[in-house]
Chains A and B, each alone.
Chain A
Amino acid sequence: MTVVRLAEVARVHGEGATAVHALKGVSLEVDAGELVAVMGPSGSGKSTLLNLAGGLDRPTSGTVHIGEHDLATTRDLAALRRREVGYVFQDLNLITSLTAVENVMLPRELDGVRPRAAREEAMAVLAEIDAADLADRFPEELSGGQRQRIAIARALVGGRCLLLADEPTGALDTRTGDDILRLLRERCDSGAAVLLVTHEPRYAAWADRVVFLRDGMIADTTDASLVSAR
């Protein structure tokens, strides 16, 4: 089952002679249970790709589907994003005045779920990723790796099936970074679709498929692996 599908997507910033072609006709699908990594130097279009996949930006041409929904014709895009898509960034992930569990509850409360139910859902997700013991701590009482775990829990809460991660291992040491990738990998193995942007080969290597982006185009792709062909 394809969770996100980009077809011939192009994105141009500006017009005429000064136009910047951030993406030039990129097609990419991520299935449920699949981890796809996008690699490329700065300016290759990685973040633009991620923003388009999550409906944070609109393509100049081409289409983006999340599940059955064509984002161009979706009326309440914000609601669709909240329901279906989770984001994890390098930093600035958590709200410092809220505890870990309150951070994870937040998107569900915005969806209109009552606090008690939202807390139950949040605790269930935290337990799934072995972080239940961190629930009542504030972000500043957590290590970098623990904060990223909480951010991943928040991205997954409420049964969201698409996780977009932009350099989630940014400032972490390699061992903690590996732990984060192991966690993302496990989430994939239990059915989520993950699109990961990274410039670090060691983290990209956890993916089923690695896409190399150059100057707004896909330059190369490692074959669909045995894992994703199951």
Chain B
Amino acid sequence: MPVRHGLLALLSSGPRHGYQLKIEFEASIGATWPLNIGQVYTTLSRLERDGLVKPGESDEQGRVVYTITAAGQEEMARWFGTPVAQSDRPRDELVIKLAMAVAAGKVDVAEVIHRQRTATMRTLQQLTRAKRAATEGAARRLVLDSMIFQAEAEQRWLDHCEAVLKEER
């Protein structure tokens, strides 16, 4: 539930209204994960239902300002204190594709690896350019770094696949 907890984390430094939360969330995470305003309000009403935030008065433009509750503070601390399980992440299509290519036997696996490696390197180049451009905001740079490390891991794994399959031939 990263959006839910992300909003709690932002509210922990002071009351904010929905649009402000959207802007600050995107400023921290970067354009890689845009948040639509509807999602922000749905999440806020669920947080309110669960007693983790409470709405205050509307400002002069009719926007409701939300405040984090003690239960909300507790939930946020629990979230930061709990490691993320690997199995919570979705299955990787590339892993399945390559395993199937090897299992099927009739596919040119080396070609699948080549294409993917070049595509992944292009992604890595784009991410690196974005990181160079992101001069302000350590949060955003670290998000990009995370994506860079993931793309790099994929690249290394592809090299490894190529080396192993070459040996088997």
Name the residue in B117, B128, B132, B156 with the highest tally of chain A Cβ atoms < 10 Å from its Cβ. B128
* A201 touching B114, Cβ below 8 Å: no
Given the interface pairs A41-B159, A185-B132, the reply to whether A205 lies near B148 with Cβ below 8 Å is: yes
Alpha-carbon distance between A200 and B124 when the two chains are bound, in angstroms: 12
Alpha-carbon distance between A1 and B151 when the two chains are bound, in angstroms: 33
Binary interface encoding of chain A residues 170-211 relative to chain B, with 1 for a CB under 8 A from any of its CBs, else 0:
000000000000100100000000000000111011110010
Quick one: which of A201, A219, A225 contacts B124, CB cutoff 8 A? A201
A220 within 8 A of B: yes
A201 cross-chain contacts in B, Cβ below 8 A: 120-121, 124, 151-152, 155-156
Quick one: which of A206, A212, A223 contacts B128, CB cutoff 8 A? A206
Alpha-carbon distance between A187 and B151 when the two chains are bound, in angstroms: 26
Binary interface encoding of chain B residues 152-169 relative to chain A, with 1 for a CB under 8 A from any of its CBs, else 0:
100110010001000000
A222 within 8 A of B: yes
In the complex, what residue of chain A is closest to B115 when comparing beta carbons?
A: A220
Given the interface pairs A219-B114, A222-B118, A222-B122, the reply to whether A205 lies near B128 with Cβ below 8 Å is: yes
* B114 touching A220, Cβ below 8 Å: yes
Report, as a range, how many residues of chain B touch the other chain.
Answer: 20 to 34
* A202 touching B152, Cβ below 8 Å: yes
CB distance from B97 to the nearest CB of A (A): 18
Alpha-carbon distance between A202 and B125 when the two chains are bound, in angstroms: 8
B155 cross-chain contacts in A, Cβ below 8 A: 201
Binary interface encoding of chain B residues 126-162 relative to chain A, with 1 for a CB under 8 A from any of its CBs, else 0:
0111001000000000000000110110011001000
* Cross-chain pair count, CB within 8 angstroms: 46
Binary interface encoding of chain B residues 100-125 relative to chain A, with 1 for a CB under 8 A from any of its CBs, else 0:
00000000000000100110111011
Binding site of B, secondary structure by majority: helix, strand, loop or mixed? Answer: helix
Given the interface pairs A41-B159, A185-B132, the reply to whether A202 lies near B124 with Cβ below 8 Å is: yes
* B121 touching A222, Cβ below 8 Å: yes
Alpha-carbon distance between A210 and B163 when the two chains are bound, in angstroms: 20
A204 cross-chain contacts in B, Cβ below 8 A: 121, 124
CB distance from A182 to the nearest CB of B (A): 7
Alpha-carbon distance between A205 and B128 when the two chains are bound, in angstroms: 6
B148 cross-chain contacts in A, Cβ below 8 A: 202, 205
Interface size on A, residues (CB 8 A): 19
B159 cross-chain contacts in A, Cβ below 8 A: 41
Alpha-carbon distance between A223 and B126 when the two chains are bound, in angstroms: 12
Alpha-carbon distance between A207 and B125 when the two chains are bound, in angstroms: 7
CB distance from B130 to the nearest CB of A (A): 11
A223 cross-chain contacts in B, Cβ below 8 A: 122
B120 cross-chain contacts in A, Cβ below 8 A: 201
* B118 touching A220, Cβ below 8 Å: yes
In the complex, what residue of chain A is closest to B123 when comparing beta carbons?
A: A205
Alpha-carbon distance between A221 and B117 when the two chains are bound, in angstroms: 10
B122 cross-chain contacts in A, Cβ below 8 A: 222-223
Quick one: which of B125, B129, B132, B151 contacts A222, CB cutoff 8 A? B125
A212 cross-chain contacts in B, Cβ below 8 A: 114, 117-118
Alpha-carbon distance between A183 and B120 when the two chains are bound, in angstroms: 24
Alpha-carbon distance between A207 and B121 when the two chains are bound, in angstroms: 10
CB distance from A105 to the nearest CB of B (A): 31
* B124 touching A205, Cβ below 8 Å: yes
* A220 touching B117, Cβ below 8 Å: yes
In the complex, what residue of chain B is closest to A40 when comparing beta carbons?
A: B159
Alpha-carbon distance between A206 and B126 when the two chains are bound, in angstroms: 9
In the complex, what residue of chain A is closest to B149 when comparing beta carbons?
A: A202
Interface residues of B (CB under 8 A from A): 114, 117-118, 120-122, 124-125, 127-129, 132, 148-149, 151-152, 155-156, 159, 163
Given A41-B163, A201-B124, 19 additional A-B pairs, CB 8 A: A41-B159, A182-B132, A201-B120, A201-B156, A202-B148, A202-B152, A204-B124, A205-B121, A206-B125, A207-B125, A210-B121, A210-B125, A212-B114, A220-B117, A220-B118, A221-B118, A222-B118, A222-B122, A223-B122
